[in-house]
Amino acid sequence: MNPLEIKLKTLTPIWTGGVETGKMDRLHETGIIGSLRWWYEAIVRGLGGHACDPTGNQSCPDKHGKRCAVCELFGCTSWQRKFKLLILDKNKRVFNIKPHEKDGLAEGTPMIWRFVELRSICDEEKWLLYQAIRIASEYGAIGGRTPRKPQNNKKVGGDFGLFSIQQQTGFPQEVSKQDVMNWSQNNGFRQIKPDNKWPNLRWFFFVHNQYLKREAINNLIGLSKNGKRITSHKDFQNALRGQRAVSKKIFSFETPPGRIWGYLPSQEMCQKTIAHLQQLEIKPENIKTGEEVLNEL
């Protein structure tokens, strides 16, 4: 059997969540797994399956010991993750990061993610895992969801988390979306009433070939030009802006050819956001909804 591997290259630095003290020579993969789980949850919800919020007070297992379809693969209290992620360099050795990159991976780094099965992973889970990586790569970003402040010595304004997939092995091709939907709904996984605030791919929006500068983003999310004052309280703006401890839900990348993505708690707010993006001169042909991405699966 082919090992589950994705060969990829970073297009910007990737923040990996920091490195534990005393283990400075090894890449910390937790940030990447956390991001993959986040995309996997959004896809499962988008397909009508159930996914808990692992950071909230309704995380799995429930009082009957059941876990959701996402915890089944990624683990939760009393259930270990089914895989180990090895991050390998192009020679298939465990990645060594250079001291000045200790907080992450540099731009243009080739690497291999090897998913080592600790327990058997079914084809539906492999398919979902691959889609999570592919969608993050084609439309989104990984490795932490709060952009760092722009740095003076960077060519582009502090973008990070972008990567491109070059090759994959071991992920099944013959699984259909319908198979996965049936699997996620009919395997005795925990059913959980979704909170609209939990990311659902259906209500994501993606822009390619364009990006917005900070002032335009501020306009979109209802802030003054300098971002210091709230100037508009439309529902979609409140949602995109986030509140106090919750980070904003829109990300713009200057790295050519440009990218924007974000998510809303409802289809209606997603449509309002897209309408506002067009007022900011984002071309309709550059916009795609999460629903469209799901329909193409």
- Please state the separation of Cα 204 from the chain's center in Å: 11
Q: Characterize 237-262 residue by residue with b for buried, 16 or more Cβ atoms within 10 angstroms of its Cβ, and e for exposed.
A: bbbbbeeeeeebbbbbbbbeebbbbb
Minimal distance in Å, beta carbon 30 to Zn ion?
18
The candidate with the shortest Cα–Cα distance to 206, out of 258, 158, 165, 164, is 258
Q: Which span sits near Zn ion by CB under 5 A: 7-15, 44-52, 79-87, 208-216?
A: 44-52
Q: Which span sits near Zn ion by CB under 5 A: 36-44, 47-55, 129-137, 204-212?
A: 47-55
Residues in region 71-100 near Zn ion by CB under 5 A: 71
Three-state secondary-structure class, residue 61: coil
Nearest residue (CB) to Zn ion, 190 versus 249 = 190
Instruction: Map tokens 């106090």 to a residue.
Output: 244
Minimal distance in Å, beta carbon 47 to Zn ion?
15
Three-state secondary-structure class, residue 190: coil
Minimal distance in Å, beta carbon 198 to Zn ion?
11
Q: Is 52 a residue that touches Zn ion (CB under 5 A)?
A: yes
Site size toward Zn ion, by CB under 5 A: 4
Nearest residue (CB) to Zn ion, 74 versus 160 = 74
Q: Is 42 a residue that touches Zn ion (CB under 5 A)?
A: no
Q: Which span sits near Zn ion by CB under 5 A: 17-25, 53-61, 148-156, 162-170?
A: 53-61
Q: Count the neighbouring beta carbons within 10 Å of the beta carbon of residue 23.
A: 9
Nearest residue (CB) to Zn ion, 79 versus 181 = 79
Q: How many helices (H) and strands (E) does the chain have?
A: 8, 10
The candidate with the shortest Cα–Cα distance to 297, out of 43, 70, 88, is 43
Judge contact between 235 and 250, C-beta under 8 A: no
Strand partners, 114: 5, 86
Q: What is the pattern of x (binds Zn ion, CB under 5 A) and - over residues 102-141?
A: ----------------------------------------
Token pair belonging to 57: 């007070």
Phi, psi of 271 (to 5 degrees): -65, -40
Residues in region 140-169 near Zn ion by CB under 5 A: none
Residues in region 57-76 near Zn ion by CB under 5 A: 60, 68, 71
Q: Is the peptide bond before 61 cis (omega within 30 degrees of 0)?
A: yes
Q: Which span sits near Zn ion by CB under 5 A: 12-20, 48-56, 108-116, 279-287?
A: 48-56
Nearest residue (CB) to Zn ion, 11 versus 68 = 68
Separation of alpha carbons 271 and 280, rounded Å: 14
Residues in region 272-291 near Zn ion by CB under 5 A: none
Residues that bind Zn ion (CB under 5 A): 52, 60, 68, 71
